[in-house]
C-alpha cells in the first residue's frame, strides 16, 4: 500500500467521522437548484462591460423604421441607459431568420465583417454562405472585453446559440475542408472563445417555443404583427418604411426601384415574382417559424446548453385572466395585435412539457414557462427580499410580472407601460448586470 492510498483512507475516515455533524451535500438534480448556500447578490458595481440589446422576431435596427425604435418605440432605451452610465448597443439581425442565422449575424454585428453562415449550414439549407457586411460596434470583443446580452422574445435563444458556438464551435463546420477557391472556415465555428459573454438576460424570451408558431397561419400573423408594430410608430410599413428583412442569403434582398409593398409581398411569398426564393425559405427548417415551435426549441435546448461561464436571468410576463373553466383570456389592455394569439394560447390543450395548464398564462405570444428558462436547464427562483447570486449556468428566474404584454415590454403602449416605466425597468437590469462578479 503506498503513501497516497494511505492518505486517501485517512481522508475517508476523517470524512466519515465528520459525517454526523455535517450532512452530506444534496445530490445534484437538474432543474430547480437550492438557494440556501448561495451568496447574496452583490450590491455594488463590479464591471463596466457593455450591454448588447438583441431583438426578437419582426425586430429591426436603429437605422430602420424611420426612427421608431424596437427598444423603446418613440422613447429610446439604448440612449437612456447610455446617459445613466451603462454603455449599450443595439444589434440588428434577420427578423424572420432562424436562430442559427441570427446568432451568426449577432456575432458579426459585434465584431464586424462579412457574415459567414458556415459552408455546411449553407449547403444543408440551400442558401448563400455569405451575407451582409457589418462595421462592428465592439470589435475588441474578447474574454477580456466581455459583453452582457439582453434579449427580447427570440432574442432569448439567439445569444444562447451564439454562446454555444463561441465556446464549442460546430463539429460539422470544423470538419469541413474548404475547396481550393473557398475561404477557410470562420473562426466563430472553431470554438474556444470561453468567457466572451458575461451574462445573458431574457425579457419574455422564447426558451421553449411560442405556441402560435405551432398554430396554422403563423406567417400571416407575423406579417400583421409587423405592419401593426409599424403603425404604432405612425409608419405605414408597406408605403414609407425603411425596413430590411436581412434575407440576402436567400436571394430576398430588396431590388432597386422595388416598392416596400412589393418587397414585402415577395418576402412573404405572396407573389410569383420571387422565382421560388421565398418558398424555399419558408419551407426550410431555417426560419423563425420553425425555430419558435415547441419541438425545434426542445432540440435547440438540448444542443445549446446554458454555459457554466455565463450568468443568466429571465423575466416573464402574464397579461391573461383565468376563467372559471380553467381557460385564460387576454386582458382588456393587451395589445390588439396579440389578442387572437393570446386567446388561442389561453385555451390550449396541446401535449406540452410541464402540462398545457401551465402554458395558458402568457403575454399574448410567449407562455410563462417558456419565458422563464430552457426546460431541462438549471434555474433558481429569485428571492426578491433576500436576493441571491445564481451560479453561472443557472437561470435566475424573476417572479412573473403581471399586466404587461409581449410588445408593451419593449414599446410603451401608454396603458400598461410608459417610456418612463420602461426606462426604469431596463435601468434596474443594467444595474444588476454591472454588479455581477467576474
* Catalytic residue list: 153, 363, 406
Least CB distance from residue 118 to Zn ion, whole Å? 8
Interaction mask 90-109, Zn ion, x per CB under 5 A: -----------x--------
Nearer to Zn ion, 164 or 286 (CB): 286
Nearer to Zn ion, 291 or 432 (CB): 291
Q: Are 283 and 130 in contact (CB under 8 A)?
A: no
The Cα-based distances of 64 to 89, 265, 268, 423 in angstroms read 15, 19, 19, 21
Which parts of 105-144 interact with Zn ion (CB under 5 A)?
125
Q: Which one of residues 286, 341, 405, 432 is an interface residue with Zn ion (CB under 5 A)?
A: 286
C-beta neighbour count of 296 within 10 angstroms: 19
**Residue in the structure block whose three cell numbers are 460539422:** 172
CA dihedral in degrees (384, 386, 391, 397; nearest 10)? -20
Question: Per CB under 5 A, which region of 3-11, 64-72, 284-292, 391-399 contacts Zn ion?
Answer: 284-292
Nearer to Zn ion, 115 or 166 (CB): 115
CA contacts within 13 A on the Cβ side of 134: 23
C-beta neighbour count of 259 within 10 angstroms: 12
Nearer to Zn ion, 64 or 101 (CB): 101
What is the Cα–Cα distance from 254 to 262, expressed in whole angstroms? 9
The sign of the dihedral angle between the CA atoms of 103, 107, 109, 110 is positive
Least CB distance from residue 255 to Zn ion, whole Å? 21
Identify which of 240, 173, 163, 172 has the alpha carbon closest to the alpha carbon of residue 197: 163
Neighbouring residues of 299: CB distance < 8 A, sequence distance ≥ 6: none
Nearer to Zn ion, 94 or 230 (CB): 94
Give the cell for residue 72. 423603446
CA dihedral in degrees (364, 368, 374, 376; nearest 10)? -140
Which parts of 35-64 interact with Zn ion (CB under 5 A)?
none
The residue count for binding Zn ion (CB under 5 A) is 3
Least CB distance from residue 293 to Zn ion, whole Å? 16
Q: Are 163 and 141 in contact (CB under 8 A)?
A: no
Interaction mask 241-280, Zn ion, x per CB under 5 A: ----------------------------------------
CA 71 vs. chain centroid, Å, equals 14
Helices (H) and strands (E) in the chain, counts: 16, 13
Nearer to Zn ion, 125 or 152 (CB): 125
Least CB distance from residue 183 to Zn ion, whole Å? 17
Nearer to Zn ion, 96 or 365 (CB): 96
Nearer to Zn ion, 101 or 274 (CB): 101
Q: Are strands 197-203 and 311-315 parallel, antiparallel or unpaired?
A: parallel
Least CB distance from residue 192 to Zn ion, whole Å? 23
Least CB distance from residue 289 to Zn ion, whole Å? 14
What is the Cα–Cα distance from 384 to 373, expressed in whole angstroms? 18
Nearer to Zn ion, 76 or 101 (CB): 101
Least CB distance from residue 127 to Zn ion, whole Å? 6
Give the angle subtended at the CA of 278 by the CAs of 277 and 284, to the nearest 5°.
90
Which parts of 308-347 interact with Zn ion (CB under 5 A)?
none
Q: Are 86 and 113 in contact (CB under 8 A)?
A: no
What is the Cα–Cα distance from 430 to 410, expressed in whole angstroms? 15
What is the Cα–Cα distance from 64 to 41, expressed in whole angstroms? 38
Question: Per CB under 5 A, which region of 37-45, 174-182, 281-289, 423-431 contacts Zn ion?
Answer: 281-289
Across 294-408, the runs of DSSP E, i.e. the strands, are 311-315, 317-318, 320-322, 328-330, 379-381, 395-397, 401-402
Helix, strand, or coil (residue 429): helix
Least CB distance from residue 213 to Zn ion, whole Å? 17
Least CB distance from residue 232 to Zn ion, whole Å? 30
Interface residue list for Zn ion (CB under 5 A): 101, 125, 286
Amino acid at each position: 500500500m503506498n503513501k497516497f492510498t494511505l492518505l486517501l483512507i485517512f481522508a475517508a475516515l476523517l470524512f466519515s467521522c465528520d459525517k454526523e455533524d455535517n450532512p452530506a451535500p444534496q445530490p445534484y438534480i437538474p432543474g430547480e437548484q437550492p438557494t440556501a448556500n448561495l451568496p447574496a447578490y452583490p450590491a455594488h458595481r463590479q464591471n463596466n462591460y457593455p450591454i448588447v440589446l438583441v431583438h426578437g422576431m419582426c425586430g429591426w435596427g436603429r437605422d430602420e423604421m424611420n426612427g421608431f425604435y424596437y427598444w423603446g418605440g418613440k422613447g429610446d432605451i439604448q440612449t437612456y441607459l447610455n446617459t445613466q452610465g451603462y454603455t449599450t448597443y443595439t444589434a440588428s439581425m434577420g427578423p424572420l431568420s432562424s436562430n442559427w442565422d441570427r446568432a451568426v449575424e449577432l456575432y458579426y454585428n459585434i465584431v464586424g465583417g462579412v457574415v459567414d453562415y458556415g459552408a455546411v449550414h449553407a449547403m444543408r439549407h440551400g442558401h448563400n454562405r455569405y451575407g451582409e457586411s457589418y462595421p462592428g460596434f465592439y470589435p475588441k470583443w474578447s474574454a477580456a472585453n466581455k459583453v452582457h446580452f439582453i434579449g427580447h422574445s427570440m432574442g432569448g435563444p439567439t445569444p444562447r446559440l451564439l454562446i454555444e458556438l463561441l465556446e464549442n464551435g460546430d463539429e460539422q463546420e470544423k470538419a469541413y475542408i474548404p475547396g481550393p477557391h473557398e475561404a477557410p472556415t470562420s473562426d466563430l465555428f472553431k470554438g474556444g472563445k470561453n468567457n466572451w459573454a458575461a451574462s445573458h438576460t431574457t425579457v419574455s424570451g422564447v426558451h421553449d417555443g411560442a405556441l402560435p408558431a405551432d398554430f396554422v397561419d403563423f406567417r400571416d400573423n407575423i406579417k400583421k404583427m409587423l405592419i401593426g408594430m409599424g403603425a404604432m410608430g405612425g409608419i405605414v410599413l408597406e408605403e414609407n418604411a425603411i425596413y430590411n428583412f436581412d434575407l440576402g442569403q436567400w436571394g430576398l434582398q430588396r431590388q432597386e426601384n422595388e416598392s416596400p409593398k412589393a418587397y414585402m409581398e415577395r418576402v412573404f411569398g405572396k407573389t410569383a415574382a420571387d422565382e421560388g426564393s421565398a418558398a424555399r425559405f419558408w419551407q426550410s427548417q431555417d426560419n423563425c417559424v420553425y425555430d419558435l415551435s415547441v419541438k425545434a426549441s426542445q432540440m435547440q435546448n438540448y444542443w445549446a446548453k446554458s454555459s457554466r461561464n455565463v450568468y443568466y436571468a429571465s423575466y416573464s410576463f402574464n397579461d391573461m385572466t383565468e376563467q372559471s373553466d380553467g381557460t385564460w383570456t387576454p386582458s382588456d389592455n393587451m395589445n390588439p395585435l396579440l389578442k387572437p394569439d393570446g386567446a388561442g394560447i389561453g385555451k390550449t390543450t396541446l401535449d406540452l412539457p410541464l402540462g398545457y395548464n401551465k402554458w395558458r398564462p402568457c403575454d399574448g405570444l410567449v407562455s410563462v414557462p417558456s419565458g422563464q428558462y430552457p426546460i431541462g436547464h438549471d434555474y433558481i427562483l429569485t428571492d426578491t427580499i433576500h436576493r441571491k447570486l445564481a451560479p453561472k449556468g443557472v437561470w435566475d428566474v424573476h417572479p412573473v410580472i403581471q399586466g404587461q404584454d409581449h410588445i408593451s415590454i419593449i414599446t410603451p403602449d401608454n396603458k400598461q407601460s410608459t417610456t418612463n416605466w420602461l426606462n426604469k425597468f431596463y435601468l434596474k437590469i443594467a444595474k444588476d448586470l454591472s454588479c455581477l462578479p467576474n
